[in-house]
Amino acid sequence: MTDALVQYILRKYERSDIFKEKRTSSLISTASEKRTSHGRDGILQAALQLFSRRGYDATSIDDIRRAAGFKSKASLYTHFKSKEEIATALLQEIIEQEDQVVMQAYHLADPEPLHRFLAMGKAFITWILSHPQESSFCLLRVQQEALIQGKLAYMGERPLSSDLVLLKLIQELRQAYPVRHIADAALLTMLLGIVSRAGIDQTAFGAQDQETRVRHILEVCMGVLFREPVPLPE
């Protein structure tokens, strides 16, 4: 990761219309697609529901075709050629949606590194807790790809904007805060793992509201990031 790459990403997201150009949710259909399930987003929505209920291996492309309202495989194949292609596209849609939300939090936060890191953390945790199906599918797929490829998204050829910025913020935090003497990428992996697992095991929190859950998860993450207690800004 280079400073030049991070600066390019930040300049890209600082364009005034950047968030207007992207859809608020990658999985929300357009007006025409809502009138028929025969659109690309309809396929992805059907796949997400089936993968969540049955699991990836127990879902066939014919199941997805029927759930999305296609009468034949040929019509579905105009959008996707296989179940794997559908799953890959779904993963990309979810990751891009989450990345957009986290980057928006970065730009709305106080520029001090800890404020920005906390803002991004809160946005990520809130998104994970609010999108249990998407986050569960994403976690399983990312873990599977990591085992096959031997690296996670931010170590690959097309790293997420938010992952690169979080790594840069960890470097900046080391200048003024007692960040643990652990490699930046390893710290980020542990933090993302904590949040992702908490999103899957939400019943463990009992009757706590989402705001309380977000705060507790963030407190655990800060305990991992710092080797000494650090007062968190309000």
What's the pLDDT at 149? Answer: 64
Span 152-156, average pLDDT:
49
Q: What is the pLDDT of residues 18-68, one digit of tens each?
A: 444 444 444 444 444 343 445 888 999 999 999 988 988 899 999 999 999
Confidence at 152, pLDDT banded by 50, 70, 90: low
Domains and CATH numbers, the chain: 3-18+88-225 (1.10.357)
Residue 162 or residue 139, greater confidence = 162
Say what percent of the chain tops pLDDT 90. Answer: 53
CB of 221 closer than 8 Å to CB of 195: yes
What's the pLDDT at 232? Answer: 84
CB of 138 closer than 8 Å to CB of 94: yes
Of 75, 123, 116, the closest CA to residue 101 belongs to 123
Asked if residue 154 has pLDDT above 90, the reply is: no
State the Cα–Cα distance between residues 196 and 112, nearest whole angstrom. 26
Q: In the predicted model, what is the mean pLDDT of the chain?
A: 82
Confidence at 14, pLDDT banded by 50, 70, 90: low
Residue 92 or residue 119, greater confidence = 119
Asked if residue 195 has pLDDT above 70, the reply is: yes
CB of 230 closer than 8 Å to CB of 115: no
CB of 168 closer than 8 Å to CB of 4: no
What's the pLDDT at 234? Answer: 72
| Amino acid type, 1 | M
